[in-house]
Amino acid sequence: MTTSPLPADSRIAFIGGGNMARALIGGLIGRDVDARSIRVAEPAEGARYGLAAEFGVSVFADNRAAITGADIIVLAVKPQVMGDVCSGIAELVAAQNPLLISIAAGIRVENFRRWLGPATRLVRCMPNTPALIGAGVTGLYADASVDNNGRSRAESILAATGATVWIDDESLMDAVTAVSGSGPAYFFLLMESMIAAAENQGLSASAARVLVLNTALGAARMACEGGEDPAVLRARVTSPGGTTEAALKHFAMGGFADLVAVAIERATDRGRELSNQFGG
């Protein structure tokens, strides 16, 4: 049996019961957090009762009812509505002084303080969609208002769905979004392109899919579990004058590394633009 990542008396409330909240709730319960300590506010009736049936958590239609008495509140709503949600709970948050965890992309700590009050203790998090299968990675940021205990509790919650990385400079959270938040789509695009190329070489669709997806999985596992730099692993597979070298030379001729760098720069810039828009 695994050990609970949080103190046994923790009271956790989620505002929003969408896919990422479900992943976190499932991960916490899988780590022996008592479902009775988790409360979820979700406006959609079907989703609300689905959460109760699947996880045994308490569910509410009203945000204030869900967070009453909570010492940790996870804000799991879309950035576009975050301001309104925060305004509706500001009085209770000021009275209870909980640790807040935001998994909404782009909303800065200063925005939460404007909506919820200057004493707000908040950890910004950027998870990604592989969290839905327990294989995610999350970047976390907190300023000096969050002590080590608060950081530990936030990390414990996000670690329920995968790896975690602390970021010291909040301005770099836009880069986290560009690299890991959006990153799964980049790998999906590469897989999609490789499958199409394999079919063009005469392989069947089913064979191409199995070959490409398992190659991607194996390469990722080698990079994650072996402890060696991807550049070392790449060099080890690349024999002089061989097939791999021929393909890699073509990637280089097409400016692959520069293309990736510019794409991530564009995503980072767009993240900053959205931060300014949603934080207004």
Domains 12-181 and 183-275 share a fold: no
C-alpha 76: how far from chain center: 11
pLDDT at 280: 61
In sequence order, the β-bridge partners of residue 41 are: 15, 60
Please determine, for residue 172, whether its predicted confidence score (pLDDT) is greater than 80.
yes
Q: What's the average model confidence in pLDDT over 47-57?
A: 96
Q: Per the confidence metrics, is the pTM higher than 0.75?
A: yes
d(CA 156, CA 150): 10
Q: Name every residue whose Cβ is closer than 8 Å to that of residue 124 and which is 6 or more positions away in sequence.
A: 102, 107, 108, 109, 140, 141, 142, 170, 173
Would you give the DSSP letter of residue 179?
I
pLDDT at 252: 96
Q: What's the average model confidence in pLDDT over 21-38?
A: 94
Using DSSP bridges, classify how beta strands 136-141 and 121-126 pair: parallel, antiparallel or unpaired. Answer: antiparallel
209 vs 33, 201, 204, 213, 244, CA distance in Å? 38, 13, 9, 6, 20
Q: What's the average model confidence in pLDDT over 177-206?
A: 97
* pLDDT one-digit tens code per residue, 217-246: 999 999 999 889 999 999 999 999 999 999
In the structure, how many helices (H) and strands (E) does the chain have?
A: 12, 8
Mean pLDDT of the chain: 94
d(CA 99, CA 116): 12
Q: Enumerate the domain spans of the chain.
A: 12-181, 183-275
pLDDT-derived band at 3, boundaries 50, 70, 90: very low
pLDDT at 219: 97
In sequence order, the β-bridge partners of residue 100 are: 73, 122
**What fold is seen in the domain 183-275?**
ProC C-terminal domain-like fold (1.10.3730)
Q: Name every residue whose Cβ is closer than 8 Å to that of residue 135 and which is 6 or more positions away in sequence.
A: 162
**What fold is seen in the domain 12-181?**
Rossmann fold (3.40.50)
